[in-house]
Amino acid sequence: MTAGYPPAGFPVARPRRLRRSRPLRRLVAPVEVRASGLVQPLFVKEGIAEPQPVPSMPGVVQHTRESARKAAASAVAAGVGGVILFGVPAVKDSRGSAADDPAGIVQLALADLAADLGGDTVLMADLCLDEYTSHGHCGVLTDSGEIDNDATLARYAAIAVAQARAGAHVVAPSGMMDGQVAAIRAALDDAGFPGVAICAYSAKYASAFYGPFRDAAECAPQFGDRASYQQDPAAFDGDALREVALDVAEGADIVMVKPALAYLDVISSVAAAVQLPVAAYQVSGEYSMVEAAAANGWLDRDRTIMETLTAISRAGADIILTYWATEVAQRLT
């Protein structure tokens, strides 16, 4: 024993004994990444004959309906807790008409997965307009180019019902419109879907980490940005907590923080403040940075993936949306 250690009166036990082997570390680990707590995002594109790689997201593709079925089946077989669908329609217009079209790509893909896997996994659908609008913004615009909040809520309500009818178990409004959760909850209840849950993107930041996603979903804004309706990255976590509290009061079942790694403090604050499941989205930029660094030999890819997911879990996330969900779940089994 090192001279002078431990100090007089200090406990003799050394925590390092419990770090001597991987089985010991696993046995006493207070934080665990669970396959069942992971959600696999899938992009489904209308009008393509085969999956299309997303250049800025190595390993991620825009799926056909058939390849989405296969990817979802692989995720479920690996033990992933759920999948979330993002649609890329063939035709976009100013109001995002394809978003609630019964024959729209997400509704068709949801019906496919509900038939294949409906009882074996959680089917989630992104509920926003940016993937469907010609201007790339998350809502209906006024003549002056501003977001019309109330008109957008009406669209969100219609989309929620369309997704529920197609087989969604959870709808995930990501547009950050005021009152969106209340409008969606009322619409779902009125349409006979009180059991469909809402995963609210309660603290979604105007982040630079979304760039690759906008390639995958083909939804970059055609003018301006989304800073007027997404959270300011410089804001204190109190702003996020106010947004979370509003969503909880309006009927949210799960609350989301997005992105994840740059906002671990917000995840921690939200997890301490609510008694609902907390989700975090490990977004496209986080994914692509690791993939690019690993491809250059700068990082140990597998260790980095697990370290980032562990950090998000340690911060308090119960559910993690990650593009590595299926791969990690396979590794955990």
Supply the pTM of this predicted model: 0.91
User: What is the Cα–Cα distance from 104 to 87, expressed in whole angstroms?
Assistant: 8
- Gap between the Cα atoms of 279 and 267, Å rounded: 8
DSSP lists the bridge partners of residue 121 as: none
Of 84, 118, 117, the residue nearest 217 (C-alpha)? 84
Residue 204 catalytic?
yes
Residue 195, domain member (yes or no): yes
From 45, 70, 92, 258, the catalytic residue: 258
Do the beta carbons of residue 301 and residue 307 sit within 8 Å? no
- Angstrom distance (rounded) from CA 129 to CA 141: 11
d(CA 126, CA 162): 12
Per the domain annotation, does 205 fall within a domain? yes
DSSP result, 3-39: TT-SPTTS----GGGGGSSHHHHHHH-S----GGGEE
Contacts of residue 289, Cβ cutoff 8 Å, sequence gap at least 6: none
* The Cα angle at residue 210 between residues 209 and 211, in degrees rounded to 5: 95
Closest CA to 74 of 121, 110, 137, 139: 121
Report the C-alpha gap between 324 and 106 in whole angstroms.
21
| Helices marked H in the chain | 22-28, 65-78, 105-117, 149-166, 180-190, 211-217, 237-250, 264-273, 284-295, 301-315, 325-332
Residue keyed to tokens 């947004």: 243
- Tell me whether residue 68 is in a domain: yes
In a domain, 23, yes or no: no
The whole domain housing 276 covers: 32-332
CA distance 94 to 32: 44
Position 9 scores a pLDDT of 65
Number of structural domains found in the chain? 1
Q: Is residue 192 part of a domain?
A: yes
- Note if 258 is an active site residue: yes
Residue 238 lies in a domain: yes
- 8 in any annotated domain: no
Give DSSP secondary structure letters for 114-138: HHHHTTTSEEEEEE-STTTBSS--S
C-alpha dihedral, 196 to 220 to 44 to 147, nearest 10°? 30
Q: Is residue 10 part of a domain?
A: no
CATH of the domain at 115: 3.20.20.70
Kindly give the confidence (pLDDT) of every residue in the chain, 333 residues in length, as a single tens digit, with 9 standing for 90 and above. Answer: 455 655 666 555 566 767 888 877 877 778 889 999 999 999 999 999 999 999 999 999 999 999 999 999 999 999 999 999 999 999 888 888 999 999 999 999 999 999 999 789 999 999 988 888 888 787 788 888 888 999 999 999 999 999 999 999 999 998 888 999 999 999 999 999 999 999 999 999 989 998 887 788 777 666 556 666 678 888 887 889 999 999 999 999 999 999 999 999 999 999 999 999 999 999 999 999 999 999 999 999 999 999 999 999 999 999 999 999 999 999 997
